[in-house]
Amino acid sequence: MSENFALIEKNIADIFEKMKPYPHANLMAAIKTRTDDEIRKAYECGVRYFGENRVQELLAHYECIKSLPGAKLHMIGTLQTNKVKYIIDKVDMIESLSSLSLAKEIDKRAKKCGVTMPVLIEINIGREEQKDGILPEELPSFLNSLSEFTSVKPQGLMTIAPVMEDPRDYAPYFEEMVRLRDEVFAKHLPGEEKPLLSMGMSANFAEALSHGSDFVRIGTGIFGPRYYPTKSDNAE
Ligand SMILES: *Cc1c(COP(=O)(O)O)cnc(C)c1O
């Protein structure tokens, strides 16, 4: 365990070093499958944003993250409408908004709790069938429809880029995200603040940063490989 902690410390220091030329950018730890101890260690090393994919695990980590001053919790995974009610008063942002039915439910639950929920719109930038997110050409009408939901506050765009062998091949996807941010999102929803881009993971965060990402979401690059518990693990 302590060995693992030393590695987490080193990994985070290395990532912050690479982020130095981009002072506006934030490091988010993608915490799926990780323990509260690993989360606290990342916090100790300066990480302030934590992203979870699954509602049940988000709830399990909630008390831990809430106890860390200044720590923010974002939902970054597929969110079923019937689970919005469990997280609406617990997350600081939902980064995975990918349908109007989800927006409608977030709006309804936010109103019930008297909050406004910041969201990012997830874009399926690689047009991959198995992935969530709206297609780039759907963004203008999606943004128009969102204006009906007054307790949902769109703050930018999020994407999970397709897996590429050569890191240089991520550039067209990140360029397209920048274009969508500047030419579609910012024009439809002109505001005082520049819309956010959440893009870049362990395999491509350096490329995402060089394209102006505001949030890089890193899991294995901080904590090491993920081991998903299997039935036999549970039985032991
Ligand atoms: C798991 C995950 C990440 C981090 O992935 P790594 O490859 O482990 O860095 C980022 N974003 C989302 C939405 C994820 O599910």
CA distances from 76 to 5, 93, 96, 223 (A): 24, 9, 5, 17
Distance 161 CA to ligand 1 centre (A): 10
pLDDT in tens, 128-161: 999 999 999 999 999 999 999 999 999 999 999 9
Whole-number pLDDT of residue 96: 98
Select from 160, 201, 216 the residue to mutate for testing ligand 1; criterion: most ligand atoms less than 8 Å from CB: 201
Better pLDDT: 2 or 93 = 93
Whole-number pLDDT of residue 193: 87
pLDDT in tens, 13-47: 999 999 999 999 999 999 999 999 999 999 999 99
pLDDT in tens, 182-228: 999 999 988 878 999 999 999 999 999 999 999 999 999 999 998 87
pLDDT in tens, 100-120: 999 999 999 999 999 999 999
The answer to whether 125 and 136 have CB atoms below 8 angstroms apart is: yes
Select from 123, 163, 217 the residue to mutate for testing ligand 1; criterion: most ligand atoms less than 8 Å from CB: 217
Query: How many C-beta neighbours within 10 Å does residue 158 have?
Result: 28
pTM of the model: 0.95
Closest ligand 1 atom to residue 158 Cα is: 13
The answer to whether 118 and 92 have CB atoms below 8 angstroms apart is: yes
State the amino acid at position 222 in one-letter form: I
Per-residue exposure over 54-93, b if at least 16 CB sit within 10 Å of its own CB, e if not: bbeebeebbebbeebeebebbbbbbbeeebbeebbebbeb
pLDDT in tens, 63-74: 999 999 999 999
By C-alpha distance, which of 184, 86, 94, 83 is closest to 141? 184
Whole-number pLDDT of residue 234: 47
